[in-house]
Amino acid sequence: MIRAKDINERTPWQDLTPGGEIYEPGTARLFNTGTWRTETPVYHREACKQCMLCVPFCPDSAIPVLEGKRQDFYFMHCKGCGICKEICPFTAITMVSGGEAR
Residues that bind other proteins (CB under 8 A): 9, 11-13, 16, 18-25, 27
Residue closer to other proteins, measured from CB, 34 or 41: 34
Q: Closer CB to other proteins, residue 3 or residue 44?
A: 3
Side chain identity, residue 35? T
CA distance 3 to 14: 15
Taking the CB of residue 57, how many other CB atoms lie within 10 A of it? 14
Alpha-carbon radius of gyration of the chain:
17
Alpha-carbon distance 4 to 97, whole Å?
A: 33
Between residues 12 and 56, which has the closer beta carbon with respect to other proteins? Answer: 12
Smallest gap, in angstroms, from Cβ of residue 9 to other proteins?
A: 4
Asked if 77 and 34 touch (Cβ cutoff 8 Å), the reply is: yes
Least distance (Å) between residue 6 CB and other proteins: 14
The least distance separating other proteins from the CB of residue 99, rounded to whole angstroms, comes to: 19
